[in-house]
Structure 1
Amino acid sequence: MSSVDKNDDLHSEKAAIEQSEVLVNTDLMNDAFDGENREHEMSTWAAIKSHPWACLWAFTMCFTIFPPPDLKINSADTSNQVMESFDMFLNGNFVALPHFKEVYGVEVPGHGKTIETKWQSSLFQAGQCGAFVGVFLAGPITNKFGYRWTTIFALMLMNATIFVSFFANSLALLVVGQALEGVPWGFFIANSPAYASEIVPLSLRGACTATLQMSWSIGSIIVAGVTYGFNKRSDEWAWRVPLALQWIFPTPLLILLFFAPESPWWLIRRGRKAEALRSIERLGGKSHEEAQQSLAMIERTVEIEAQMGGSPTLLDLLKGTDLRRTIITCLIYASQNFAGNLIANQATYFFEQAGMGPERSFQLNLINSCLQLVANIIALPLASSFGRRTIYLWGTATNVTLLMVLGVCASISQNNATNYAQAVLGILISFVFAGSLGPISYTIIAETSSVRLRALSTGVGRAAYYVAEIPMIYLASQMLNPGGWNLAGKCGYVWGGTACVCFVSAYWFLPELKGRSYRESDILFNRRISARKFKSTVIDVRDNE
């Protein structure tokens, strides 16, 4: 299609939009202008004071991805270990646990009993497969029933599927249980960033969506603590107690979310205007006039998007400018596996391969988990103060440098000092990821898609993460495992190279969406503005396109 034809299509779409009944309503449009201008003028602190309930509900929804306690037990027999997965669904990482191997293992000459490789792989990948299904189911179900009821359903499903894993008396049944538990986790990770981004004011979108990574870190601290406490237990409760602890979380979250307001954006898309107004009033301490202005702003954006496409389908993600937005979402999600994060999330195993003893590796892992939480807390004000593109690029560049230094450190003559240097570099890489790339990725994902396709887009983006993660998990295992390539810290060269690719790709293709309303984002993508010019392009508050 020629540039002239494209311009004609854009003019035709704009003409049709301008004839919309909503968009020719002068009073509604004036309210929409006022509502959007007020959001742009609202500072972060003012937004927190006026919208405490919105912050609470956003954090509650994000807390659904809180990873339940995994079991990663360390012993001197590191050749039988499975690395810790970076997932937010339950994943059975039963690693070198003596009693677990005694019950389910097979005899290997010279090593005693061990879990067969095929079962290690199955236990490790079952949750990813379940979540892959869950993220694709989440979009259509959420579009029909809303974020609130879909998440409540997923929490009920989570409670039910835990029974399968807890009472499993064979490896096959345990694999089935892990796969079933993965399905609701797919719902959680697809819905959490979308819901959080839709219920808070513009200035809080970065901080509130970044709390997704904080939930991860809180979970990893509990994982490290539970693992440390059960490291030497020699009966079946060594793995059944951590599995049972999962039941602590779904029911309280389910009760809380029963009282949560639905996203006003979803309600407007369903034509439920009165409920949307009530939801807006519940989310913030606004006057009725301000609530009406916010409602008008939402109506305007939803109407513009509706004029450009009907009921959302997965195929819409591949059409027109939405294809560009889908590619950005998928690449940002997938890139979490390429910027050194797999070192951070197999920390215990990495520390051992770097020369630390099993007990010291455990201690360093607990320290690493706590530092990740500190980094997440630091990331919240950063997300409100700096651009998404800026944080992502600087975080990636920093990790590229650290990963290359790690490779150099592992390439020289090894001694106690170089072992500790590699361990410290592993912790620093984890800290940088948890303070920049990790949390800001969820913000970018939540903001990039159109409102109409958001539930579908976040699900497909997460599916891209799983597609990238599976081969990367295998590659990471091969690089660290003494029975594989045994690279130890030299894997920094590999991950440094892939992180460099992430940096270059983001520099050319990642747009800056900080401070942009969803209407402005739609216009910038529809005008096909270069990613590097998003920040400087001026959008008039009266533009409808």
Structure 2
Amino acid sequence: MMVTCLVQIIGAVIQVTSHSSAQFIVGRILIYLAVGLVENVVPTYESEICPAPLRGFCVGSIQLFLTFGSLIAGIANQYLSKYSSDAGWMIATGVQGVPAVIILAGLPFTPNSPRWLISKGRRSEALKALQRIRNKQANDSGLCELEIFALESSDNNSEKAPWSALFNSANRRRTSIALAIMALQQLTGVTFSSSYGPTFYKKVGLGDMAFTYAAINNGVSVVTAMIGMILFDTFGRRDVTFHGCWLQTVFLCLIGGLGSKPHRTTGDTNGMVASFILYAAVLHATLGPSAYITAAEVGTATLREKTMAIATAFNVVVGFVVVYTTPYLLSTPGANLGAKLGYIWAGFAGVGAIWVWFFMPELKGRGLEEIDELFAAKLPAWRSKKFVGSGLGGAVANSKEDVMQKEQVEEVEKV
């Protein structure tokens, strides 16, 4: 994270001081490199430090902050677009360095991952770090010592596997799940929503309200992203992602149908705008965070960082294809699809719902070691919800859930 922050700050400085397109592009590349590092490091770290019953909430928070970032960027762009001097674009690009400075200030107070420390043979440091991030009851009940023992007994102590192991018979299924869900996140149009909202509204004749509608869209998505953080640990990854995909399909088809009418009424226009906002709201509450959560927790201990790395890299590549092709699909010169572009994203969302049902296992509430047991059992995805692990990983996860439930009961009794 320290390297990521430094890359981000350097990229912002290079952009702000640019006197040529080439220099600005170099700064932009560095910024995007930092984004890729964040999407890799943050979910992996969160998945390793969070107790199983809260892993969806914690890892899913990255979607909230990505959406919140889009909201801030949209507001800043709208305000700064009124500047006629260089200060407009310089402030807009310079703001990119602010989050990195905030993170750097917080890093000294951030413990290392206990799992990483165990993999390096630093048991006492791992226990101390775990005790810092677990609550008092977990410490008093000896759950931290049990968790450390479970980590020492798992593959966490094994030497990290090579990249080629991602696609061997033992890990191929896990890698394919991470790659598929990261690709689906982009292919259902997340960039279409976050990056081309104002362009879309202008294209369909709503130029006067383009930035306003985009800001509303981002604001609603921030709220639903917060709701999504709760949904995954309440209803499970499979159900939330499945229902999210088919709902996206419905709203995207409505965008295509209402927006492409030759003689659109005011009601049609309002319906299209509402569908666009609702589609984005569903995306940021379901498939958006689900991609990061699943990719972060699906990899085995010896390959977790590599699984997340290849998944986020694939996400960036697919996202680049979407970003590059969207202007040509949306406008002229190009396919000039306009609102009909919604049908394309709807097709991918429909495929996503089918994929979730047949291929995405339920990982809610499971310890990372219990997930290893689940894949070793080779159950079909639709039967994974009923699987109960028999090893220490499952016992630790269940103990954490019992502690959390006990805390909730005590809070109710106090009230």
TM-score scaled by length of structure 2: 0.89
Equivalent position SS for 1:534: helix
Mapping of residues 146-165 of structure 1, within 5 Å: 151-165=1-15
* Map of 2:400 onto structure 1: none
Q: Matches of 1:493 and 1:192 in 2, distance apart?
A: 33
Q: What is residue 513 of structure 1 aligned with on the other side? A: 363
Q: Deviations over 1:260-317 (max 9, x none)?
A: 111111111111000001001111233686575334334434533258x633322221
- Equivalent position of 2:164 in the other structure: 315
Would you say how many aligned residue pairs link Structure 1 and Structure 2?
A: 392
Q: Residues 306 and 238 from structure 1, CA distance in 2 versus in 1: closer, same or farther, beyond 3 angstroms? A: closer
Is 1:410 aligned to 2:259, yes or no? yes
Structure 1 gaps of 5+ residues are 1-150
Question: Which residue does the alignment assign to 2:226?
Answer: 377
Instruction: Give the AA of the match of 2:65.
Output: S
Contact 2:150/2:392 (CA < 8 Å) preserved in 1? no
Larger Cα-atom Rg: 1
Q: CA deviation at 1:480?
A: 0.9
8 A contact 1:267–1:273 mirrored in 2: yes
Aligned to 1:497: 347
Structure 2 gaps, min length 5? 395-415
Percent of aligned pairs sharing the same letter: 27
What are the Cα deviations for residues 18-53 of structure 1, in whole angstroms up to 9, with x where unaligned? xxxxxxxxxxxxxxxxxxxxxxxxxxxxxxxxxxxx
Residues 306 and 233 from structure 1, CA distance in 2 versus in 1: closer, same or farther, beyond 3 angstroms?
A: closer
Q: In 2 relative to 1, CA 234–480 (structure 1 residues): closer, same or farther, beyond 3 Å?
A: same
Distance 1:254 1:302, change over 3 A: same
Give the superposition deviation at 1:229: 0.8
Q: How is 1:149-298 mapped onto 2 (pairs within 5 angstroms)? A: 151-286=1-136, 290=140, 292-298=142-148
Mapped contact 1:392–1:436 kept (Cα < 8 A): yes
1:305 and 2:125 are equivalent in the alignment? no
Aligned positions of 1:465-484 closer than 5 A = 465-484=315-334
> Which residue identity lines up with residue 383 of structure 1 in the other structure?
F
Taking the aligned partners of 1:383 and 1:350, their CA distance within structure 2 comes to: 31
So what's the TM-score if we normalise by structure 1?
Answer: 0.69
Residues 368 and 393 in structure 2, CA contact (< 8 A), matched pair in contact too: no
Cα 1:303–1:320 change in 2 (3 A) is farther
Q: CA deviation at 1:470?
A: 2.4
Residue 222 of structure 1: SS of its match in structure 2? helix
Instruction: Output one character per residue of 1:305-340: Cα deviation in whole Å (capped at 9) or x when no partner.
Output: 258x63332222122322211111111111111223
CA distance in 2, matches of 1:414, 1:295: 68
Question: 397, 401, 411: which is aligned to 2:246?
Answer: 397
Q: Could you tell me whether the CA contact under 8 Å between 2:258 and 2:264 is conserved in 1?
A: no
Coordinate RMSD, CA, aligned: 2.0
The 2-side partners of 1:191 and 1:180 are apart by 16
* Amino acid aligned to 2:100: P
Distance 1:289 1:255, change over 3 A: closer
- C-alpha spacing 1:542/1:252, structure 2 compared with 1 (3 Å): closer
Rounded to whole Å, the distance in 1 between the matches of 2:152 and 2:302 is 7
Q: Which residue of the partner structure matches residue 335 of structure 1? A: 184
Deviation at residue 185 of structure 1 after TM alignment: 2.2
What letter matches 1:535 in structure 2?
K
Shift in CA distance, 375/301, structure 1 to aligned 2, threshold 3 Å: same
Matched, 1:386 2:221: no
**Structure with higher helix content:** 2
Paired with 1:303 and 1:542, the residues of 2 have a C-alpha distance of 8
Q: 1:390 to 1:298 in 2, by over 3 A?
A: farther
Amino acid at match of 1:221: L
Select the residue among 390, 401, 406 that pairs with 1:540.
390
- Aligned residue number for residue 488 of structure 1: 338
Amino acid of the residue matched to residue 298 of structure 2? T
1:410 counterpart letter in structure 2: G
Contact 1:341 1:429 in 2 (8 A): no
1:421 offset after TM fit, Å? 2.5
**How far does residue 412 in structure 1 lie from its aligned partner after superposition?**
2.6
Does the CA contact (< 8 Å) of 1:268 and 1:276 recur in 2?
yes
Contact 1:280 1:291 in 2 (8 A): no
Pick closer, same or farther for the CA change 1:235–1:171 going to 2, 3 Å: same
